[in-house]
Structure 1
């Protein structure tokens, strides 16, 4: 069964047990947040995310696969540190997370094409071992709760609820979420808050007349901390503006309109906004040593949590 980012807790086994309900999502989202964002090595993350975005651009990869792969990378790096003297690990980690995300989304990702562009070749067994290391580090919890899980809930606050308007609102909020995915500060907010913030930005842009009522409804929701919503909107506004200005050229997101600043969207004021070649073979992979790959991977990824 293909993993659906909008229904992460629903599977063929638990479909009839209420796991897909919105209350279950809000109850579960804190467990899917990274509590050690500050431990993530920014340089390693930047390199890994860059490789994922490059794969998305070069291989015409489903953006949701790239989003999920980055989610796995963030969770992995929050628990393990990469030895900087072995930079090939970053590429192997990116490939493994892309492969896992593709399998979850049942998308055919041509690893050979991507590896050829990057200059390193890892054989299938090496990639598989890295996948297992990622799975173990993530405790095999691959059905991540993300902001996409909450879009439908907050869209229900929008009035009038005509399908074409809702589809347009959701599509634009999705673009905003995808553009903001390379900003590490977004990890500090609950997925539901990020979802609400993206929808407010989208609504202000394309439905300004209906926006005040929508903003009031979302802000008064019992599940939403209004102060966190405000803080998140500041970070998201800076991240999406940066992406639109060309700092995320490799993402290949499509439409490039930029959401308004959080000050405009939420009707509040702020003085400022914050945002802050060894293991592979040359071309045929024959020099990879299977008997030492696992120990090398584990030694190169220090467990930190």
Structure 2
């Protein structure tokens, strides 16, 4: 069965029942690195820089693939490093691990690629290394063992359907909200600070931030729904919300710097969002989503 980040368990349905949902929340901690891994990265600049180098290698390998491949590969990387410890900076070993995590992610997501493609990717950039197929397979076995063969990772994407189902949104609003939340989740994975939180908390916080950014008048309703959810801790959601807000602020500032230097107006939302400007959603004009308000850049205290 093909692995879907939004549907990680084989028995998990598009509209999950209470038993399936409980299972997800119950086992999510088994699919993330332990807290001491986050604490070590936070306090050790060297280890954090090594992780950044690994992520850069994986991003190079997966640049022409679905972004979910990158996300899953980094998930495998973090879980492996948490189990085995940060490796000493050996270029060939680092690239072998990056290739292995990428290869496993591609296989799990049933993405088509050939051995020739992988060899070309491994030769990308300076100091390319060629690994024999058997070498990669042996490394895959090592990674699989460290992950205890838990390859159907529980990620923030696994909880998006559950939370959005609680919101009871129309199709247009749902797509816009999910797209922006997914974008935030993908971007925030590289930030060490997000690793402090469980996937369900990251999912809830990303949806809340997206709703505040896109549909500010409906945000209080979404916040109330999340706050009343028995599966998540409101304080943790708000802490994660603040971290995500900082990440989004850095994104906006980066975009502003790039566009201001080229003389191009800044557009926070992509073309998919802009094309919906004329749509009406629950009495709220989606055109509001194209406005960048200064209050979005300030830390919101709930």
Q: 1:85 to 1:34 in 2, by over 3 A?
A: closer
Following superposition, the deviation at residue 146 of structure 1 comes to: 0.4
Q: Which position in structure 2 is the counterpart of 1:21?
A: 20
Match of 1:166 among 159, 174, 185: 174
SS at structure 2 position matched to 1:78: helix
Q: 1:240 to 1:123 in 2, by over 3 A?
A: farther
Match of 2:299 among 253, 259, 263: 263
Match of 2:91 among 81, 87, 90: 87
Question: Deviations along 1:278-304, whole A, 9 cap, x unmatched?
Answer: xxxxxxxxxxxxxxxxxxxxxxxxxxx
Q: Which position in structure 1 is the counterpart of 2:120?
A: 113
Following superposition, the deviation at residue 130 of structure 1 comes to: 1.1
Confirm or deny that 1:102 pairs with 2:106: yes
Question: Deviations along 1:75-97, whole A, 9 cap, x unmatched?
Answer: 01101134425232111111100
Following superposition, the deviation at residue 245 of structure 1 comes to: 4.4
With the length of structure 2 as denominator, give the TM-score of the two structures. Answer: 0.76
Q: Is the 8 A contact 2:69 2:106 kept in 1?
A: yes
Higher-helix-fraction structure:
2
Alignment of 1:47-58 (within 5 A): 47-57=53-63
SS at structure 2 position matched to 1:79: helix
Q: Which has the higher contact order (CA 8 A, sep 6+)?
A: 1
Structure 1 gaps, min length 5: 269-305
Q: Is the 8 A contact 1:234 1:262 kept in 2?
A: no
Q: Which position in structure 1 is the counterpart of 2:48?
A: 42
Following superposition, the deviation at residue 21 of structure 1 comes to: 1.4
Q: Is the 8 A contact 1:7 1:20 kept in 2?
A: no
Q: 1:20 to 1:261 in 2, by over 3 A?
A: farther
Structure 2 gaps, min length 5: 42-46, 259-268, 272-289
Aligned length: 255
Q: Which position in structure 2 is the counterpart of 1:273?
A: none
Q: Which position in structure 1 is the counterpart of 2:263?
A: none
With the length of structure 1 as denominator, give the TM-score of the two structures. Answer: 0.76
Q: Is the 8 A contact 1:55 1:114 kept in 2?
A: yes
